[in-house]
């Protein structure tokens, strides 16, 4: 997929980043499989569980712009490590939770820590990979979210069922902390930092988009119209993504009568699709469409619209699982392409701030998904309205992306 041997140092960075950000997901999505156990133990409603996850994504969203900005100023490695340690501490303390307020508070802290992961990671990849390989690098990197989401579902479901839901939140940090130490020792912020110059890659290269000469980085990002439309599209996709990642295990447990372990196993079909879909999305945009991200994103959103509408109308488990796999496949085909599109639009020195802006806007959608989904389930007593809302958001995302101008690279 990339030229062999010539760019070996960047492979090391990619592998190390893949592992450490995967550990982030172990400490982010360990909650979803054990929601039924927490609800039973602490007598919580769907709306109250939604508030716990809403708090996480509210503070995750708040952290995005500072994390991206600080990675532009101080380098991404420091931010990734600091965020990971904060998330680990919050998870360990979450295991001692006995009431709703305590759980909301600790998930808020976890959200702040988790906010230090993705935007600085985009900055780090941008430092090491040229534009011609960006889509594929992002696609490969983001397979870690698929692999480790599956691991989080399986590990949390099994440990929670076999022992206790609290043990889940002790094990996850114990895996993450050694990964952060290894990452800190192996990775530098830039090829120059390791004394390695990469042939054919000028760290300053980038699109002739928004100039980074503006003193106000955030204004330079927000004032760009296509970036705002990309943010709206990513808002819609993030709502769809995290509504499914958080609520699917509970949906399969309650509506289809599966056990906690079986529900987590079946729900893992959704992120599992990303192992193929994420690299495929990068390949399609870089190679098949010659650097264009928009056609792939539009096709993916259209297919999500169709499959989520069918999910609202289906009650046969096998058909439901096939539709879940379809939504997961197209969701993860296009997710990272929003960031590749943003990197194509803006100047390289704005990538941390811009990624933070895109993540913040997108995860306003995740935050809404947590709160509104719980309310919809408690109000209507089913998941039909939940899936129809996902179809509407896919249509809104199509409208936003359609308005983004894009020329052949």
Report CA dihedral (257, 259, 262, 267) to the nearest 10 degrees. Answer: 60
In contact, 395 and 378? CB cutoff 8 Å:
no
Residue 47 scores a pLDDT above 70: yes
Mean pLDDT calculated for residue range 208-216: 48
pLDDT value of residue 64: 80
pLDDT band for position 12 (50/70/90)? confident
C-alpha distances (whole Å) from 84 to each of 21, 77, 247 are 9, 11, 24
Distance between CA atoms of residues 83 and 112, nearest Å: 7
pLDDT value of residue 371: 86
Tokens, residue 259: 């056990």
3-state DSSP percent of the chain in helix, strand and coil, to 5: 80, 0, 20
Residue 114 scores a pLDDT above 90: yes
The one-character DSSP state at 286 is I
Q: Is residue 335 part of a domain?
A: yes
The one-character DSSP state at 285 is I
pTM: 0.79
Q: Can you state the angle between helices 317-334 and 294-313, rounded to 10 degrees? A: 160
pLDDT band for position 145 (50/70/90)? confident
**Position with higher pLDDT, 250 vs 10:** 250
pLDDT value of residue 152: 92
Find which of 189-193, 245-249, 362-366 is predicted with most confidence, using mean pLDDT.
Answer: 245-249
Q: Is residue 4 part of a domain?
A: no
Q: Is residue 386 part of a domain?
A: yes
pLDDT band for position 409 (50/70/90)? low
Closest-CA residue to 109 (of 125, 91, 123):
91
Q: What is the pLDDT of residues 230-285, one digit of tens each?
A: 999 999 999 999 999 999 999 999 999 999 899 999 999 999 998 899 889 888 88
Residue 213 scores a pLDDT above 60: no
Mean pLDDT calculated for residue range 210-236: 75
Cα dihedral across residues 52, 57, 60, 61: positive or negative: negative
Mean pLDDT calculated for residue range 274-297: 87
The one-character DSSP state at 300 is H
Q: Is residue 202 part of a domain?
A: no
Closest-CA residue to 348 (of 219, 187, 190, 208):
208
Environment class of residue 199 by beta-carbon count within 10 Å: exposed (0-12), middle (13-18) or buried (19+)?
A: exposed
Distance between CA atoms of residues 74 and 386, nearest Å: 41
pLDDT value of residue 407: 65
Residue 177 scores a pLDDT above 50: yes
As separate numbers, helices (DSSP H) first and strands (DSSP E) second, the chain gives 19, 0
Q: Can you state the angle between helices 143-162 and 260-267, rounded to 10 degrees? A: 170
pLDDT value of residue 57: 87
Residue 88 scores a pLDDT above 60: yes
Q: Is residue 199 part of a domain?
A: no
Q: What is the pLDDT of residues 23-41, one digit of tens each?
A: 999 999 899 899 999 999 9
Mean pLDDT calculated for residue range 39-47: 92
Mean pLDDT calculated for residue range 202-215: 45
DSSP 354-400: HHHHHHHHHHHHHHHHHHHHHHHHHHHSSSHHHHHHHHHHHHHHHHH
Q: Is residue 195 part of a domain?
A: no
Distance between CA atoms of residues 245 and 146, nearest Å: 11
Residue 72 scores a pLDDT above 90: no
Distance between CA atoms of residues 199 and 371, nearest Å: 49
CATH number of the domain bearing residue 295: 1.20.1250.20
pLDDT value of residue 204: 41
pLDDT value of residue 282: 81
pLDDT value of residue 283: 85
The one-character DSSP state at 210 is B
Q: Is residue 316 part of a domain?
A: yes
pLDDT value of residue 210: 44
pLDDT value of residue 348: 65
pLDDT band for position 206 (50/70/90)? very low
> Which range is least confidently modeled, 116-130, 142-156, 333-347?
333-347
Average pLDDT of the chain, as a whole number: 86
> Which range is least confidently modeled, 2-16, 58-72, 125-139?
2-16
Which residue has tokens 């007593």?
381
What's the domain count of the chain?
A: 1
Q: Tell me phi and psi for residue 84, to 5 degrees.
A: -65, -40
Kindly give, in sequence order, each residue whose CB lies less than 8 Å from that of residue 158, ignoring residues fewer than 6 positions away. Answer: 261, 264
Q: Show the domain range for 379.
A: 10-183+221-402
The one-character DSSP state at 197 is P
In contact, 279 and 139? CB cutoff 8 Å:
yes
Residue 193 scores a pLDDT above 70: no
Q: Is residue 196 part of a domain?
A: no
């Amino acid at each position: 997929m990339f030229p062999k041997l010539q760019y070996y140092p960047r492979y090391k960075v990619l592998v190390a980043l893949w592992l450490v950000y995967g550990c982030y997901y172990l400490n982010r999505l360990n909650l979803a499989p054990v929601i039924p156990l927490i609800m039973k133990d602490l007598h919580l409603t769907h709306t109250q569980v939604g508030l716990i996850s809403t708090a996480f994504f509210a503070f995750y969203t708040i952290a995005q712009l500072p994390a991206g900005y600080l990675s532009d100023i101080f380098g991404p490695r420091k931010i990734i490590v600091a965020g990971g340690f904060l998330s680990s501490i919050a998870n360990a303390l979450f295991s001692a939770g006995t009431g709703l307020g305590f759980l909301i508070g600790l998930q808020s802290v976890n959200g702040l820590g988790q906010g230090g992961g993705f935007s600085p990671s985009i900055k780090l990849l941008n430092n090491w990979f040229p534009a011609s390989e960006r889509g594929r690098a992002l696609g490969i990197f983001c397979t870690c979210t698929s692999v480790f989401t599956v691991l989080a579902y399986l590990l949390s479901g099994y440990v929670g069922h076999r022992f206790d839901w609290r043990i889940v939140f002790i094990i996850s940090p114990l895996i993450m902390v050694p990964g952060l130490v290894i990452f800190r020792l192996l990775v530098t912020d830039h090829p120059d930092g390791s004394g390695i110059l990469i042939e054919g890659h000028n760290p300053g290269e980038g699109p002739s988009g928004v100039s980074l000469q503006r003193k106000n980085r955030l204004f330079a990002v927000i004032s760009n119209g296509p970036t705002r439309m990309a943010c709206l599209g990513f808002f819609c996709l993030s709502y769809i993504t995290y509504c499914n990642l958080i609520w699917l295990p509970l949906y399969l447990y309650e509506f289809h009568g599966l056990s906690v372990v079986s529900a987590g196993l079946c729900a893992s079909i959704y992120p599992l699709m990303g192992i193929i879909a994420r690299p495929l999305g990068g390949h399609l945009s870089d190679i098949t469409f010659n650097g264009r991200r928009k056609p792939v994103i539009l096709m993916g959103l259209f297919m999500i619209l169709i499959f989520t509408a069918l999910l609202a109308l289906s009650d046969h488990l096998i058909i439901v699982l096939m539709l879940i796999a379809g939504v997961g496949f197209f969701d993860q085909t296009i997710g990272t392409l929003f960031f590749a599109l943003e990197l194509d639009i803006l100047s390289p020195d704005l990538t941390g701030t811009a990624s933070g802006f895109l993540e913040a806007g997108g995860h306003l959608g995740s935050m809404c998904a947590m709160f509104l989904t719980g309310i919809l389930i408690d109000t209507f007593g089913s998941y039909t309205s939940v899936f129809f809302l996902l179809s509407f958001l896919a249509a809104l995302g199509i409208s936003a992306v359609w308005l983004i101008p894009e020329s052949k690279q």
